[in-house]
Amino acid sequence: MNILIASSISKHAIEKLTENHDVICAFNAPEEKLMSLAGDRDVIIFRSGVKISAKVMGAAPNLKYLIRAGSGLDNLDVEYSNERGLQLVRIPEPGAKAVAELSFAFMLALSRNLIYANQEWKKGHWVKGEFKGYLLRGKVLGVIGAGNIGSLVGQMGSFWGMTVLGCVDDSEYTPEIKSDLTSKGIRLTTFDEVISNADYLTIHVPLMDSTRNLIDKNVLQKMKSGSYLINLARGGVVNEKDLLEELTKGDRLRGAALDVHENEGEGKVSPLASLPNVILTPHMGAQTVDSQREIGDRVLEEVDRFEKLLKQSEEPVTVNK
Ligand code: MLT
């Protein structure tokens, strides 16, 4: 098959695909470039950081399959892809484990001021006396979007001795989900209850019209005094202007950590960058060797499956007389 790999996936998967298929790699290329490469492609494989627009797919008349080597679909024109009848496969589970662990790492790093302590002691400053750390144990962890990733973070929090509150979108609520979350130590409740009780608020919802600016000035003002905010969902879910204002002028948040940003990519500097109580990382939640290897293996399985489907659809139909 003719495959366009539009994002960096694991090396072993690219090598394996190249053995059996015609592969073009153009990681995070702009729309025009993708359009010029997509002409004879059957499959596009992509992650975040690239836009798979209607124009890109429209430039690929043979395109049949889309593989999202991860979770979010905010960078794909889903409506167009559905209209075209393209087959779309997502591979969310391996990255979810890595994103959940990063949320936990953020909670620990914020509570113990690890980044600052490391920076100072490396310069020879013995800042021990300045430190006031906080325990996670005994605190309230609030999970906005207790789905695939959020429920894993919640479960980890519960094992750690935290009280865990979570919420899901009304459209996703079922009694089964509630009992599954309960079995993981997460009490399902309302959005308002989660935000106003959390000492650590971790966000794990997809970016959609309904979640854009979900965490804005009004929500930040309802958060507990001395709380922390963590965004591992998508830039745009947290209003960064409002967050900056709260962190500089307000008295609620003790700190924040963001792995996803309104503006992402080389050379972009967040307005939050100068704040010492903010940790910023480059959308690397799912970027562990383990998760990417697992995603790579799943991509190979999906390409094999698509190839079999394609062959079946091309086989001549024999009519029994
Ligand atoms: C995802 O949605 O899976 C993450 O953003 C990871 C990625 O694709 O880079």
Per residue in 20-74, pLDDT (tens digit) is: 999 999 999 999 999 999 999 999 999 999 999 999 999 999 999 999 999 999 9
Q: Are residues 108 and 234 in the same domain?
A: yes
| Helical (H) or strand (E) element with 25 | strand 22-25
Mean pLDDT of 134-138: 98
Q: How far is the CA of 53 from the centre of ligand 1 (A)?
A: 17
Q: Are residues 11 and 136 in the same domain?
A: no
Active-site choice (47, 234, 254, 261)? 234
Task: Let me know how many helices (H) and strands (E) the chain has, helices first.
Answer: 12, 12
Q: Are residues 61 and 73 in the same domain?
A: yes
Q: Are residues 59 and 119 in the same domain?
A: no
Q: Is 94 in the pocket of ligand 1 (CB under 6 A)?
A: no
Q: State how many domains the chain has.
A: 2
Residue pair 50/72 in contact (Cβ under 8 Å)? The answer is: no
Mean pLDDT of 213-229: 98
Active-site choice (261, 283, 294, 302)? 283
- CB atoms inside a 10 Å sphere around CB 16: 17
Q: Is 234 in the pocket of ligand 1 (CB under 6 A)?
A: no
The answer to whether residue 287 is domain-embedded is no
Residue pair 15/320 in contact (Cβ under 8 Å)? The answer is: no
Label residue 218 by pLDDT band (50, 70, 90). Answer: very high
The answer to whether residue 52 is domain-embedded is yes
The answer to whether residue 75 is domain-embedded is yes
Does the active-site annotation cover 246? no
The answer to whether residue 305 is domain-embedded is no
Q: Are residues 103 and 235 in the same domain?
A: yes
User: 7: domain CATH number?
Assistant: 3.40.50.720
Q: What are phi and psi of 152, to 5 degrees?
A: -70, -45
Active-site choice (31, 93, 264, 307)? 264
Q: Which residues is 186 bridged to in the sheet?
A: 164
Nearest CA to ligand 1 atom 5: 48
The answer to whether residue 321 is domain-embedded is no
Mean pLDDT of 167-180: 95
Label residue 287 by pLDDT band (50, 70, 90). Answer: very high
Task: Using the 3D structure, point to which of 74, 91, 108 is the last residue of a domain.
Answer: 91
Q: Are residues 75 and 135 in the same domain?
A: no
Per residue in 74-110, pLDDT (tens digit) is: 999 999 999 999 999 999 999 999 999 999 999 999 9
Q: How far is the CA of 48 from the centre of ligand 1 (A)?
A: 5
The answer to whether residue 203 is domain-embedded is yes
User: How far, in whole angstroms, is CA 163 from its chain's centroid?
Assistant: 24
- Nearest-atom number in ligand 1 for the CA of 260 is 5
- CB atoms inside a 10 Å sphere around CB 1: 17
Does the active-site annotation cover 193? no
- Nearest-atom number in ligand 1 for the CA of 47 is 8
Q: Are residues 26 and 136 in the same domain?
A: no
* Torsion angle in degrees (nearest 10) through CA of 141, 146, 150, 155: 60
Q: Are residues 141 and 271 in the same domain?
A: yes
Quick check: 320 pLDDT over 70? no
Quick check: 321 pLDDT over 80? no
- Nearest-atom number in ligand 1 for the CA of 72 is 2
The answer to whether residue 175 is domain-embedded is yes
Q: Are residues 219 and 138 in the same domain?
A: yes
Residue pair 221/192 in contact (Cβ under 8 Å)? The answer is: no
Q: Is 72 in the pocket of ligand 1 (CB under 6 A)?
A: yes
Q: Are residues 257 and 217 in the same domain?
A: yes
Tally of residues, the chain: 321
* Torsion angle in degrees (nearest 10) through CA of 242, 247, 248, 254: 170
Instruction: Pick from 283, 288, 291 the residue to mutate for probing ligand 1's pocket: most ligand atoms within 8 Å of its CB.
Output: 283
Domain encompassing residue 256: 94-280
Mean pLDDT of 271-292: 97
Mean pLDDT of 154-173: 96
Task: Using the 3D structure, point to which of 59, 91, 123 is the last residue of a domain.
Answer: 91
Q: How far is the CA of 94 from the centre of ligand 1 (A)?
A: 10
Q: Is 71 in the pocket of ligand 1 (CB under 6 A)?
A: yes
Does the active-site annotation cover 84? no
Q: Are residues 6 and 45 in the same domain?
A: yes
Q: How far is the CA of 72 from the centre of ligand 1 (A)?
A: 6
Task: Using the 3D structure, point to which of 91, 107, 128 is the last residue of a domain.
Answer: 91
Q: Which residues is 188 bridged to in the sheet?
A: 166
Label residue 314 by pLDDT band (50, 70, 90). Answer: confident
- Identify the pLDDT of residue 131: 85
The answer to whether residue 209 is domain-embedded is yes
Q: Are residues 82 and 114 in the same domain?
A: no
